[in-house]
Amino acid sequence: MSTDLKFLIVDDFSTMRRIVRGLLKEIGYNNAEEAEDGAVALNMLKNAKFDFVVSDINMPNMNGFELLSAVKADASLKHLPVLMVTAEARKEDIVRAAQDGAAGYIVKPFTKATLEEKVQKIMQKLATAA
Amino acid sequence: MKMDTMATLAPPTAAASPEVFQQLGVITRQLHDTLMQLGVIPKLQTAADNLPDARSRLNYIAEKTGAAANKVLNSVDQAKLEHANIAADTRRIAAAIVADPVKAVASGSVMNFVGDVEAATARIDLHLTDIMMAQDFHDLTGQVVAKVVALASDLEDSLVKLLVQAAPPEQVQKVESSILNGPVVNPEGRTDVVTNQGEVDDLLASLGF
């Protein structure tokens, strides 16, 4: 498993960003940066190379759905896998995320095992497609 | 924006028309009368008066919970570091004992290790105590939450009454669907939400993911 992937963690709660970052580190991914909302994240994605986005949905300025749409609409970013990690548990939100191009969807509260499983599944899928 | 600029931007025909002002006056009066009949204005007034207090209460909760979370995460970081050091030292002393037990004891390595472990476990115990103590925010914020919930409930009653009266039926669904709901507090009996990651995975699988 490649552990030099660069992650962008997007969440308006610094605590959750820190938890996701800590879990990614325990899984073996040490390279991660953080953004407090979709707008900041999009700017970072356009100005630096990232390999994976882990994003909340309910955020100020630009929410996770808007970020997902913006990423998928940008030719230089649309290849990026976006894993939604959110408290939004409505089925229509999950369906919308899938239709908009999310690579995965995790509902909070979640476990390290769930995050690890989803990240590995997405990376395997990308490796197969490549 | 300056007033003269606004005057320049405003359509001259609308600004000059007394009928427009008259119509606006009628609509305003009707809205005011309706709100009074519904009893919305007094309740809204009370709720609005309490909003600054609620805001400060919510800020208090945010500060307390944020500080507690950071305190816990810092303690966990420190404890994990201590744990990693103990694990590494254990491996090192085990190798030394296997290689030459007499030398390991005679050189003081074993006793040094024992002392180091004792000191590290004492520090880890302090971190665990810090983690336990950081949970005190729950008691404090719980009381504050109850008061804010009561205020929010009053405000919700008033606004729902207003929304039902004012919004066209076809718009109500639009308003509801534009709101992100956050955590589902009461999932029992609901079919529009998932309650665990397994249901998320099943739903995504049914969509071909």
pLDDT in tens, B91-145: 999 999 999 999 999 999 999 999 999 999 999 999 988 888 888 777 777 777 8
Angle (CA) B205-A106-A129 rounded to 5° is 55
Q: Do A105 and B200 touch (CB under 8 A)?
A: yes
**Rounded distance, CA A13 to CA B36, Å?**
40
What sign for the dihedral angle of Cα B103, B104, B108, B111? Answer: negative
Task: Please tell me the predicted confidence (pLDDT) of residue A95.
Answer: 95
**Rounded distance, CA B111 to CA A105, Å?**
51
Average pLDDT, stretch B186-206? 84
Average pLDDT, stretch A55-69? 95
A contacts of B195 (beta carbons < 8 Å): 89
- Long-range contacts made by residues B15-24, C-beta under 8 angstroms, separation at least 24? none
CB-based contact, B66 to chain A, within 8 Å: yes
Task: Please tell me the predicted confidence (pLDDT) of residue B188.
Answer: 75
Mean pLDDT for all residues in chain A: 92
Q: Which of B73, B193, B200 lies at the smallest CB-CB distance from A18? A: B73
The proportion of chain B whose per-residue pLDDT surpasses 70, expressed as a percent, equals 76
The proportion of chain A whose per-residue pLDDT surpasses 70, expressed as a percent, equals 98
Distance from CA of A99 to the nearest CA of B (A): 9
A contacts of B207 (beta carbons < 8 Å): 95, 98-99
Task: Please tell me the predicted confidence (pLDDT) of residue A1.
Answer: 52
Domain extents in chain A:
7-129
pLDDT confidence bin for B5, thresholds 50/70/90: very low
Distance from CA of B53 to the nearest CA of A (A): 23
Task: Please tell me the predicted confidence (pLDDT) of residue B135.
Answer: 80
pLDDT confidence bin for B6, thresholds 50/70/90: very low
**Rounded distance, CA A86 to CA B188, Å?**
20
pLDDT over threshold 80, residue B184 = no
Mean pLDDT for all residues in chain B: 79
Residue A11 contacts by C-beta under 8 Å, 6 or more apart in sequence? A17, A20, A34, A36, A55, A56, A59, A85
Task: Please tell me the predicted confidence (pLDDT) of residue A91.
Answer: 92
Q: Do B194 and A14 touch (CB under 8 A)?
A: no
Q: Which of B70, B181, B187 lies at the smallest CB-CB distance from A88? A: B181
Residue ranges with strand state E in chain A: 7-10, 32-35, 52-55, 82-86, 104-107
Q: Do A90 and B181 touch (CB under 8 A)?
A: yes
ipTM: 0.74
Domains of chain B: 20-165 (1.10.287.500)
Kindly state the tokens that stand for B154. Answer: 């009053």
Distance from CA of A107 to the nearest CA of B (A): 6
pLDDT confidence bin for B194, thresholds 50/70/90: confident
pLDDT confidence bin for A40, thresholds 50/70/90: very high
Task: Please tell me the predicted confidence (pLDDT) of residue A88.
Answer: 83
**Rounded distance, CA A82 to CA A38, Å?**
12
pLDDT confidence bin for B176, thresholds 50/70/90: low
H-state helical runs in B39-136: 40-99, 101-106, 109-134
The proportion of chain B whose per-residue pLDDT surpasses 90, expressed as a percent, equals 28
The owner of tokens 């690579």 is: A103
Q: Which of residues 2-41 of B touch A (CB under 8 A)?
A: none
Average pLDDT, stretch B4-17? 50
Task: Please tell me the predicted confidence (pLDDT) of residue B165.
Answer: 67
Task: Please tell me the predicted confidence (pLDDT) of residue B46.
Answer: 74
Task: Please tell me the predicted confidence (pLDDT) of residue A104.
Answer: 96
Task: Please tell me the predicted confidence (pLDDT) of residue B108.
Answer: 94
* More confident call, A34 vs B197: A34
Query: With contact defined as beta carbons under 8 Å apart, do A64 and A10 qualify?
Result: yes
CA distances from A25 to A16, A93, B61, B104, B135 (A): 14, 28, 29, 35, 25
Q: Which letter does DSSP use for residue A90 in this model?
A: B
pLDDT over threshold 60, residue B182 = yes
Query: CATH number of the domain at A7-129, please?
Result: 3.40.50.2300
Distance from CA of B108 to the nearest CA of A (A): 35
Q: Which of A63, A98, A107 lies at the smallest CB-CB distance from B207? A: A98
* More confident call, B108 vs A126: B108
pLDDT over threshold 60, residue A2 = no
Q: Which of B70, B195, B207 lies at the smallest CB-CB distance from A95? A: B207
**Rounded distance, CA A8 to CA A46, Å?**
12
**Rounded distance, CA A103 to CA A113, Å?**
17
Kindly state the tokens that stand for A104. Answer: 């995965």
